[in-house]
Amino acid sequence: MGTGADPITRLIHELGKLPGIGERTATRLAFHVMRAPESLAQGLAQALLDVKAKVRLCSSCMNLTEDDPCALCADARRDPGLLCVVATPADLLAVDRGGAFRGRYHVLHGVLSPLEGIGPDDLRIGDLVRRLRDAEAASGGTAQPIREVILALSPNVEGEATALYLARLLRPLGPRVTRIASGVPIGGELEYVDQVTIARALEARREV
Amino acid sequence: MGTGADPITRLIHELGKLPGIGERTATRLAFHVMRAPESLAQGLAQALLDVKAKVRLCSSCMNLTEDDPCALCADARRDPGLLCVVATPADLLAVDRGGAFRGRYHVLHGVLSPLEGIGPDDLRIGDLVRRLRDAEAASGGTAQPIREVILALSPNVEGEATALYLARLLRPLGPRVTRIASGVPIGGELEYVDQVTIARALEARREV
């Protein structure tokens, strides 16, 4: 469908390129945009252009950011001795939304996946190692070394493999390497939780 | 959230204004846009702006269009004596997608709904009556009158009420006024069809 199509068909087509949005949903969204005030279309269009024009990677944590270093790395109230490693910027957002973690982050931009041909060199692992070494080297002065690396990777095959790989790689560099707990989610109904999660939750049981 | 927010947060916020898109989906879409080639964001942004800048109502059928009269009204192969009345441009698209109907359309832009304060004057009913009268008046020359008005309105309370109102209003002007059939959808499982639909399908049974 070229630029020759009428604007409505073209908008439906463009919306349909987004993941999880089929022709039906795209049509519904397009007609909503047409009924809505012009500011909705303009605001969304501007946000789409801005995000591509202004967003780059933070040279320290590799998160997507407008400024370098990013707001998280520049925040002096965040503990630089505590590093949370996540697979994607979306995962970082999910971890940070809760406000439970007040250290720094490092975004890998993926996980190890031999099946998809994704090895260590395809991820931001080299940058992570360099960051740990730099912090160690500078720790004589005003900076402090990284005491703990928390691996916040999804508990699936690729996440497990990546966590294992990173633990072996990073431990010799000095920090404690930990992994976020897996188990039954808070508010979850035991009845509907899968067996692997139940098994993991039993294994990791603690004294009350 | 003003324009001061960072581009990612702003895109998530703007996407979240679309119907049926919550914060989670908006976040997923925003990160997809950031990973995707720049052309995706640009194409969608341009389509959003175009649709608001270029789309207006066809002065004949009241459908959304770039040109006036619209492509459907300008298509000489379509029977001008057959008029299909729909509630919305989306409904028009749904009817026309099948290709089973080769006449003209008229879009009401809503249905009668006393509860929401939507009366006949809020819909494009006056334009419909004028269209029937004009076709009748011009039918002495090259034009032909409208022989049949097919009401393709959803089979719910508002759709039924609107169909009844239009039938009474339009029949004295000359045309046959018909309604699309309701019943068990093709490919539907009888087991899962609601009772009202079953009752309607039984009532409207036909000889095989």
ipTM: 0.72
Q: Are residues B82 and B34 in the same domain?
A: no
Over range B4-17, report the average pLDDT.
89
**Rounded to whole angstroms, how far apart are CA atoms B125 and B129?**
6
Average pLDDT, chain A: 89
pLDDT tens, position by position, A162-187: 999 999 999 999 899 999 888 888 88
Percent of residues, chain A, with pLDDT higher than 70: 96
**Residue of A18, A28, A34 to mutate when probing chain B, most B C-beta within 10 A:** A18
In a domain, B192, yes or no: no
Comparing C-alpha atoms, which of B186, B44, B154 is closest to residue A41? B44
Over range A115-124, report the average pLDDT.
93
Over range B110-132, report the average pLDDT.
94
pLDDT of residue A78: 95
Q: Are residues B28 and B105 in the same domain?
A: no
Q: Are residues B90 and B175 in the same domain?
A: yes
Q: Are residues A90 and A127 in the same domain?
A: yes
Percent of residues, chain B, with pLDDT higher than 70: 96
Q: CB–CB of B82/B98 below 8 Å?
A: no
pLDDT tens, position by position, A76-89: 999 999 999 999 99
Comparing C-alpha atoms, which of B175, B183, B54, B144 is closest to residue A7? B54
B38–chain A Cβ distance below 8 A for any pair? yes
In a domain, B205, yes or no: no
pLDDT of residue B80: 92
In a domain, A155, yes or no: yes
Q: Are residues A154 and A109 in the same domain?
A: yes
For residue A9, give how far its alpha carbon lies from the nearest alpha carbon of chain B (Å): 9
pLDDT of residue A4: 59
pLDDT of residue B51: 93
Domain CATH for B49: 1.10.8.420
pLDDT tens, position by position, A141-154: 666 789 999 999 98
Domain CATH for A88: 3.40.1360.10
Range of A101-115, A175-189, B184-198 with top mean pLDDT: A101-115
In a domain, A72, yes or no: no
In a domain, B200, yes or no: no
Cα-Cα-Cα-Cα torsion B86, A35, B41, B5, nearest 10 degrees, comes to -150
Q: Could you give phi then psi for residue A69, rounded to 5 degrees?
A: -70, 160
In a domain, B67, yes or no: no
Q: Residue B207 is which amino acid?
A: E
Q: Is the dihedral of CA A19, A22, A27, A32 positive or negative?
A: negative
In a domain, B207, yes or no: no
Q: Are residues A84 and A169 in the same domain?
A: yes
Average pLDDT, chain B: 89
B25:A20 CB<8 A? yes
In a domain, A154, yes or no: yes
Q: Are residues B89 and B168 in the same domain?
A: yes
**Rounded to whole angstroms, how far apart are CA atoms A48 and B48?**
10
In this prediction, residue A2 has a pLDDT band, given cuts at 50, 70 and 90, of very low
**Rounded to whole angstroms, how far apart are CA atoms B63 and B39?**
30
Task: Say which residue, A43 or B200, is predicted with more confidence.
Answer: A43
pLDDT at residue B202 greater than cutoff 90: no
Over range B21-30, report the average pLDDT.
92
B-chain CB neighbours of A48 within 8 Å are: 11, 33, 41-42, 44-45, 48
Task: Say which residue, B196 or A58, is predicted with more confidence.
Answer: A58
Q: Are residues B38 and B90 in the same domain?
A: no
Q: Are residues A46 and A85 in the same domain?
A: no
Q: List the alpha helices (DSSP H) in chain B.
A: 7-15, 23-35, 38-54, 71-74, 89-97, 125-138, 157-170, 195-203
A33–chain B Cβ distance below 8 A for any pair? yes
B-chain CB neighbours of A18 within 8 Å are: 29, 32-33, 44
In this prediction, residue B2 has a pLDDT band, given cuts at 50, 70 and 90, of very low
Q: Are residues A106 and A24 in the same domain?
A: no
Q: Are residues A49 and A123 in the same domain?
A: no
In chain A, residues 88-127 whose CB comes closer than 8 Å to chain B: 88-90, 93
pLDDT of residue B1: 41
In this prediction, residue A90 has a pLDDT band, given cuts at 50, 70 and 90, of confident
pLDDT at residue A193 greater than cutoff 90: no
pLDDT tens, position by position, A134-144: 988 887 666 67
Split into its structural domains, chain A has a count of 2
Residue of A nearest to B45 (CA): A45
Whole domain around residue B31: which residue ranges? 7-54
Q: Are residues B84 and B168 in the same domain?
A: yes
How many Cβ pairs closer than 8 A exist between chain A and B? 141
pLDDT of residue A48: 96
Pull the structure tokens for residue A154: 């999804």
Pull the structure tokens for residue A30: 């397009």
Residue of A nearest to B89 (CA): A31
